[in-house]
Chain A
Amino acid sequence: MAEYLVLIYENEAEYAKGDQGVFDEVMKAHNDFGSTHHAALRGGNALQPTSTATSIRGTRTDSVTVTDGPFAETKEALGGYYLIEAPDLDAAIEIAKQVPAKFGGVEVRPVMVFD
């Protein structure tokens, strides 16, 4: 078995203009996903929008800078993630296909293992 991080990238603007109905629908979808894939889930969180992000460059140097905003400005921004466990990439992809991402998509990354 291996761990994969499923990163959810979506267009935040769509959420900003969405009403309570959109929010309820997405919440329900995540709850359904959570209960269906309970056995494979090792963690997960939703993030506040990139308007709340702070980027810090040059960490552990003398020239550290702190700026407002996400690390990279993209149309679809990281908005949440799930940590899942799966025997191989095919199984991970099958789970990732079920992750709600109404306004974007997801990226699957294997978690590095240090022996």
Chain B
Amino acid sequence: MRVTRDLDLAEECAQDAFARALTAWAADGVPERPGAWLTTVARRRALDVLRREAALRRALPMLVVDDIEPSPELGEVIPDDRLRLMFTCAHPALNQDAQVALTLRLLCGVTTAEIAKAFLVAEPTMAARLTRAKKKIALARIPYRVPDAEQLPERLDAVLTVVHLLFTVGHTAPSGPDLVRSDVVERALDLARMLRVLLPADPEVAGLLALLELTHARRATRTDDSGRLLLLDEQDRSRWDRDAIAAATPLVRESLRGRPPGRFGLQAAIAAVHAEAPSYADTDWREIVALYGVLLARWPSPVVALNRAVAVGLADGPAAGLAELEPLGSEPALATYAYLPAARADFLRRLGRYDEAATAYAEAALLTDNDVEQAFLRGRYEEVRSASGH
């Protein structure tokens, strides 16, 4: 694929090799030396593509490739083509919606119609977005290569962000009847596993994979049989995927070896504390507060501050949590974020301040379009309304 010179060919090729890897690995397990296995497949595909290339090339836009010619032996020193393609898709010169859509299209082979559905836009809109992005790649010559060592951390962060975003989109579908779009979640997990194979020494790659695996390990317990949302304290921990948790634990340790630990490693560590806690009450909330503190210093974000405030409430009681939430009310980035009023409502409810809790639950319900989350918030709203004597 390295030798192909246009994006559509790369698209077809990457998609195919990726699908082959997944099919074969699902059937036979991940091979002893996945890198070598992938290289062999990639090489075979490259040869196939080369045969067709001459005919197709002229009709298709050029894709920039490195000036360095590949060495005749496709050894492990040559980075995988899909890795190059990921860096192209997650290039900062493309907007983030386009980055995520292109990754789904070019790396996962998801159809435009399916991507449109996942992102709640009409298919022609998504098609236009993908076309515009592909045109920009060709015309502005966005390169098809792994960035050099100096650029790598920043650019890799963009790649990991895209995969994480994809997982989040699938994990809590922005709207619609189901909480989770498992197809999108699976794609994100596949990409994270692939990155782990391709960049085995990177702590943040390990951190992202651990985070996704640990979150995914709770998938069976996030809603009850009728589709009602279950919070962490209501989930049946015996149904968490213990094998997945056990597999992710060494990855968490590895990810924290980064100096300083990165944001995905820290989030994975938080997820690991939850995964290891025997019950919600017996969770080491102080450890979680501390980890969020480090994360906040490393990655100042209102959402992280919100999570930290919630953990403070669980470590030191609802009044302490409420005080931590207080300054976040004026944060513009959280103005339409349903989890802020939802967290406030929960603390107010625990403090017995039912009228205020009802107002906060109502506000939160207005801010989410996900049916499952709405049903949960409405249920709580009714609960506190009747508790307050209405």
Contact = CB atoms under 8 A, between A and B. Distances in A.
Residues of A contacting B: mostly: mixed
Interface in A60-102: 87-90, 93
A88 B139 contact: no
B147 interface: yes
Interface in B129-162: 139-143, 147, 151
B93 A88 contact: no
Interface of A: 2, 87-90, 93, 108, 110
Contacts of A110: 139-141
Interface in B29-50: none
Interface of B: 64, 67, 91, 93, 139-143, 147, 151
A25 B75 CA distance: 51
A2 B93 contact: no
Nearest to A91: B143
Contacts of B67: 87
Q: Which of A87, A90, A93, A108 has the most CB of B within 10 A?
A: A90
Contact of A89 (B143, B147, B151): B143
**Top-6 shortest CB links A-B:** A88-B143, A88-B141, A88-B64, A110-B140, A89-B140, A89-B142
Please indicate which of the listed interface residues A2, A89, A93, A110 has the most CB atoms of chain B within 10 Å of its own CB. A89
B67 to A, nearest CB: 7
B141 to A, nearest CB: 4
Contacts of A2: 141
A110 B143 CA distance: 13
Nearest to A108: B140
A90 B140 CA distance: 10
Contacts of A93: 93
Nearest to A86: B141
Contacts of B147: 90
A22 B140 CA distance: 34
A76 B143 CA distance: 30
B102 to A, nearest CB: 15
A87 B140 CA distance: 10
Nearest to A93: B93
A90 B143 contact: yes
24 contacts: A2-B141, A87-B64, A87-B67, A87-B141, A88-B64, A88-B141, A88-B142, A88-B143, A89-B64, A89-B91, A89-B93, A89-B140, A89-B141, A89-B142, A89-B143, A90-B142, A90-B143, A90-B147, A90-B151, A93-B93, A108-B140, A110-B139, A110-B140, A110-B141
A93 B142 CA distance: 10
Q: Which of A2, A87, A88, A93 has the most CB of B within 10 A?
A: A88
A110 B139 CA distance: 7
Nearest to A2: B141
Nearest to A110: B140
Contacts of B140: 89, 108, 110
A89 B67 CA distance: 14
A13 to B, nearest CB: 26
Nearest to B147: A90
Nearest to B93: A89
Given A89-B64, A108-B140, A110-B141, 18 more contacts: A2-B141, A87-B64, A87-B67, A87-B141, A88-B64, A88-B141, A88-B142, A88-B143, A89-B91, A89-B93, A89-B140, A89-B141, A89-B142, A90-B142, A90-B143, A90-B147, A110-B139, A110-B140
